[in-house]
Amino acid sequence: MSETAASSSAGAASPLAPAAFPLVHPVPGVDLLGAAIGLKKQVGRRDLMLVRLAPDTAIAGTLTRSRCPSAPVDWCRRQLPGGCARAIVVNSANANAFTGTAGDQVVDNTVDAAAALFGCPREEVFVASTGVIGVPVPPRHIGDSLAALLGRLRPDAWRDAAAAIMTTDTFPKAASRQLDLGGTTVTISGIAKGSGMIAPDMATMLGFVFTDAAIAPPALQAMVGRATDRSFNCITVDSDTSTSDTVLVAATGAAGNTPIADHRDKAARPFIDALEAVMADLAQQVVRDGEGAQKFITIDVSGAASARAARRIGLAIANSPLVKTAIAGEDANWGRIVMAVGKAGERADRDRLSIAMGGVTITRNGQLEPGYDETPVAEHLRGQEIHIAVDVGVGKGRATVWTCDLTHGYISINADYRS
Amino acid sequence: MSETAASSSAGAASPLAPAAFPLVHPVPGVDLLGAAIGLKKQVGRRDLMLVRLAPDTAIAGTLTRSRCPSAPVDWCRRQLPGGCARAIVVNSANANAFTGTAGDQVVDNTVDAAAALFGCPREEVFVASTGVIGVPVPPRHIGDSLAALLGRLRPDAWRDAAAAIMTTDTFPKAASRQLDLGGTTVTISGIAKGSGMIAPDMATMLGFVFTDAAIAPPALQAMVGRATDRSFNCITVDSDTSTSDTVLVAATGAAGNTPIADHRDKAARPFIDALEAVMADLAQQVVRDGEGAQKFITIDVSGAASARAARRIGLAIANSPLVKTAIAGEDANWGRIVMAVGKAGERADRDRLSIAMGGVTITRNGQLEPGYDETPVAEHLRGQEIHIAVDVGVGKGRATVWTCDLTHGYISINADYRS
């Protein structure tokens, strides 16, 4: 348990990693940095992200459903209803989870320091931590580090910030979009970390998204909840849920658009679409960094009783070790998909079930397609980008879920390693 | 998909397999056989179990919750309320699942043949199948095979019967107990198969238990439901649920005990305990034959809101790939247990959580035990029999769950193999 986080981030990048760090547009009203404050054992490795937000920035978020959440998650859950943020402080290398009252004191101290630095109420400071579980954080270390960093805040430090929140990630993750919102150009830029729940000493999915759009906090919260359901809640590497999962979306309002007061407002639609696109992009990058991943798998479920039912069926397929190992083995083993649909606990009509892989129909209406030839499916499975489509034949619910295969690499990372 | 089932049963036995097939007491009123009828490709490999039960035998059972069940499961679900059985016919090598109306016709034909042979109503014939999904069973093959086998029914053919229902199992599974029931000696003997949900072409957990006790069908059903919850529903290899899981318990009444009419009758207690012991023994043997298993893991959960909540927490730990790989790696990584408790979705008090491994307290009341020394825990983890105890600090609910570790062997069996 004494191993530092990020120990494996020095390793080779995932074979599914993007070729380069993407272009990230600065977001007016947002300055950030990624710095090394000595939490990671490797000297000079970035382990702290600090974000300064313009006054009156709206914030919304979704937090882990774990019944054993970390101290920072508890803090954010209490502050989110306030809807305003001036600062976000995130450290890697230590999750500050299962650390008792000492963990709450670390959060208090960090929040005090950031509030003093930016001259804002404590309620407008948000925090997140990722790394070792159950090891105390040095009591005042994070809070005491902040003042010296102030001069390094910049509008374009996305790569440094993305690196500072990495643990076992093999590449930094970011996504950015610009859109026209009623005649005003609006930017959405975000970063994320995660590569499976991974070891508790290197746990967690984190996502931080920033926009200069003006959006009322309740409208933003509604948008973020929905976008999370269609992005971070649609991915799975190993079905494990971290103590610390945190997604925060901050809207500075600096773009000067007519403020969006209601997420159901038709004018909000282009923003919602772009927000979902950025968050889905980030979520997919987390899957592409899945431990041991060799193949990126997209699962489209249709014909379910509801969108929620479709997502549950998709996740049952995506979490099935048998489906994931079959794809690792490039085996067109569609029977495992039938099994996974069956265990999802949602309505499905066995006699109307249709399954396709790589665009090739394998079963239709519950029976093997006459003349089914496995050759093109086997060819598809030899690629890196795998597509599965399942129609369960009972309704109109749809969902798309993303996952990766389950390989010897996953076992090696998680079993062969000794803390 | 054309590979026969049982292809790997010729491989080496699991390192956790028992040294020898156990002593199995014959059960008055039960004759059985295990025969080769050519469903498995390997010539002479047993693939059919036939059981003849005395008139007025009571039957009870539990069936898969899969929403895509096999044709035999559908049949058994319809007949179980009748509560009487004279015959059980089970084949391996083909699950008769996802086979449309042709699959139902195979069941009809098998039931017709067995009913004619034993002179009983169709409703008293029970069937189960395990093996390939989605491949038609030769239409009249099973039914036509039965008559020639009649002379081979014997009271002591337990090993042959256990072998006939194997697919990827590496050893045949049986358990047996005798008890005193109000002055009458009563026997309970059973067999099972399963080693993970495994490939769809070699799927399924099956259990068949026989007793000569006289028990009314409703009382038997209540006992079996409860015993299943404490045995087969407390094991997991890879969290996958087969299309075909079937547990049937038949009570012939030949022992001549005072019939048990109500499972709440105090006199029934010794029988219930022995039934649970036999079923737990069989369930644990399935885990010991888990694909790639190197370690047998017992997880005791206490302090939960209810027994059901305790079981869910135990299964969340047992199904966590991170917990299973940590144990494979002999890593005393208790943070992964905290994570798994958190994701179970049941009430748990982070600040009262206690965790022990191998009898050594690691955390108590939500914090690392002062002076905790990992050495004895690491030593425990180098063994084959692993014990984890978790108290979640909110109530009096208890459960015990059994699983195995997740190793390279699992990946090799399920990914490296190409159908």
pLDDT confidence of A240, banded at 50, 70, 90?
A: low
- Tell me which chain B residue has its CA closest to the CA of residue A334: B200
The per-residue pLDDT for B297 is: 95
Give yes or no for residue A155 having a pLDDT over 50: yes
Instruction: Find out whether B230 and B280 touch, Cβ atoms under 8 Å.
Output: yes
- Closest CB to A342: pick one of B241, B333, B340: B241
Give yes or no for residue A1 having a pLDDT over 50: no
Instruction: List pLDDT tens digits, range B177-213.
Output: 999 999 999 999 999 998 755 433 335 689 999 999 9
In angstroms, the CA B36 to CA B218 distance is 35
Residues 6+ apart with CB under 8 A from B330: A418, B378, B381, B382
- Give the dihedral of Cα atoms A231, A232, A237, A243; nearest 10 deg: -170
- Tell me which chain A residue has its CA closest to the CA of residue B198: A322
pLDDT confidence of B417, banded at 50, 70, 90?
A: low
The per-residue pLDDT for B8 is: 39
Mean pLDDT over residues A95-117, rounded?
93
- The bridge status of strand B296-304 relative to strand B354-357 is unpaired
**B201 contacts in chain A (CB < 8 Å):** 333, 335
Q: How far is B334 from chain A (nearest CA, A)?
A: 8
Q: Would you mind telling me the total number of residues written for chain A in this entry?
A: 419
**A406 contacts in chain B (CB < 8 Å):** 411, 415
Q: How far is B61 from chain A (nearest CA, A)?
A: 19
Instruction: List pLDDT tens digits, range B106-120.
Output: 999 999 999 999 999
Residues 6+ apart with CB under 8 A from A63: A69, A73, A76, A77, A80, A245, A246, A247
The helix (run of H) or strand (run of E) holding residue B308 is helix B307-319
In angstroms, the CA B204 to CA B268 distance is 31
Q: How far is B152 from chain A (nearest CA, A)?
A: 35
CB B69 to CB A342 under 8 A?
yes
CB A320 to CB B240 under 8 A?
yes
CB A415 to CB B326 under 8 A?
yes
In angstroms, the CA A380 to CA A356 distance is 11
- Tell me which chain A residue has its CA closest to the CA of residue B406: A411
CB A67 to CB B351 under 8 A?
no
**B68 contacts in chain A (CB < 8 Å):** 338-339, 341-342, 348, 350, 353
Of the two residues A216 and A66, the one the predictor is more confident about is A216
Beta bridge partners of A390: A301, A355
Interface mutation vs chain B, best among A2, A319, A330, A411, most B CBs within 10 Å: A411
DSSP one-letter code for B416: I
Give yes or no for residue B165 having a pLDDT over 70: yes
Mean pLDDT of chain B: 90
- Tell me which chain B residue has its CA closest to the CA of residue A329: B415
The per-residue pLDDT for A198 is: 40
Instruction: Find out whether B274 and B180 touch, Cβ atoms under 8 Å.
Output: no
Instruction: List pLDDT tens digits, range A322-366.
Output: 899 999 999 998 888 988 898 788 888 888 899 999 999 999 988
Q: How far is A116 from chain B (nearest CA, A)?
A: 30
Quickly list DSSP for B196-257: SS--GGG---EEEEEE---B-HHHHHHHHHHHHHTTGGGEESSS---S--EEEEEE--TT-P
- Tell me which chain B residue has its CA closest to the CA of residue A352: B100
- Tell me which chain B residue has its CA closest to the CA of residue A374: B1
Q: Pick from A237, A211, A247, A285: which is nearest to A404 by CA?
A: A237
Which residue's entry shows tokens 């309704």? A395
pLDDT confidence of B333, banded at 50, 70, 90?
A: confident
Give yes or no for residue B378 having a pLDDT over 50: yes
Instruction: List pLDDT tens digits, range B80-111.
Output: 999 999 999 999 999 898 888 889 999 999 99
Catalytic residues of B: 204
Beta bridge partners of A60: A249
> Between the CA of residue A92 and those of B58, B146, B174, what are the distances in Å?
61, 66, 51
Q: How far is A351 from chain B (nearest CA, A)?
A: 7
Grouping H, G, I as helix, E, B as strand and the rest as coil, residue A389 is: strand
In angstroms, the CA B191 to CA B188 distance is 11
Residues 6+ apart with CB under 8 A from A395: A303, A304, A305, A306, A309, A347
Instruction: List pLDDT tens digits, range B269-290.
Output: 999 999 999 999 999 998 898 8
Q: How far is B238 from chain A (nearest CA, A)?
A: 7
Mean pLDDT over residues B64-73, rounded?
84
CB B411 to CB A328 under 8 A?
yes
CB pairs under 8 A between A and B: 242
Instruction: Find out whether A187 and A27 touch, Cβ atoms under 8 Å.
Output: yes
* Beta carbons within 10 angstroms of residue B116's beta carbon: 14
The per-residue pLDDT for B414 is: 79
In angstroms, the CA A317 to CA A343 distance is 9
Residues 6+ apart with CB under 8 A from B46: B34, B35, B36, B40, B160, B163, B164
Q: How far is B393 from chain A (nearest CA, A)?
A: 12
Instruction: List pLDDT tens digits, range A61-81.
Output: 999 877 778 899 999 999 999
pLDDT confidence of A196, banded at 50, 70, 90?
A: low
In angstroms, the CA B202 to CA B94 distance is 8
Residues 6+ apart with CB under 8 A from B357: B332, B334, B377, B380, B381, B386, B387, B388, B389
SS3 helix, strand, coil % of chain B, rounded to 5?
Answer: 35, 25, 40
The per-residue pLDDT for A409 is: 86
Interface mutation vs chain B, best among A2, A7, A64, A67, most B CBs within 10 Å: A67
Tokens representing residue A251 in the block:
């809207």
Beta bridge partners of A31: A52
The per-residue pLDDT for A233 is: 86
Q: Pick from A100, A7, A87: which is nearest to A51 by CA?
A: A87
**A326 contacts in chain B (CB < 8 Å):** 199, 414-415
Hey, CA dihedral for B111, B112, B118, B124, is it positive or negative? positive
Mean pLDDT over residues A24-35, rounded?
98
pLDDT confidence of A238, banded at 50, 70, 90?
A: low
Sheet of strand B367-368: strand arrangement: B235-236, B397-404, B296-304, B385-391, B354-357, B360-364, B367-368
pLDDT confidence of A6, banded at 50, 70, 90?
A: very low
CB A335 to CB B98 under 8 A?
yes
CB A345 to CB B239 under 8 A?
no
CB A415 to CB B238 under 8 A?
no
CB B346 to CB A197 under 8 A?
no
CB A240 to CB B340 under 8 A?
yes
Of the two residues A131 and A219, the one the predictor is more confident about is A219
In angstroms, the CA A260 to CA A267 distance is 8
> Between the CA of residue B93 and those of B7, B88, B138, what are the distances in Å?
9, 17, 12
DSSP one-letter code for A133: S
CB B66 to CB A342 under 8 A?
yes
Give yes or no for residue A202 having a pLDDT over 50: no
Instruction: Find out whether B30 and B53 touch, Cβ atoms under 8 Å.
Output: yes
Give yes or no for residue A406 having a pLDDT over 70: yes
In angstroms, the CA A388 to CA A226 distance is 24
Overall pTM surpassing 0.90 (yes/no): no
**A66 contacts in chain B (CB < 8 Å):** 339, 342-343
In angstroms, the CA B405 to CA B412 distance is 14
Instruction: Find out whether B259 and B86 touch, Cβ atoms under 8 Å.
Output: no
The per-residue pLDDT for A243 is: 73
Mean pLDDT over residues B360-365, rounded?
92
Instruction: List pLDDT tens digits, range A266-290.
Output: 999 999 999 999 999 999 998 898 8
All domains of chain B in start order, with CATH:
7-288 (3.60.70.12), 296-416 (3.10.20.340)
Write down the catalytic residue from A110, A167, A187, A204.
A204
Ramachandran quadrant class, B29 (left: phi over 0; alpha: psi -120 to 50; beta: rest): left
CB B407 to CB A415 under 8 A?
yes
In angstroms, the CA B240 to CA A320 distance is 6
pLDDT confidence of A26, banded at 50, 70, 90?
A: very high
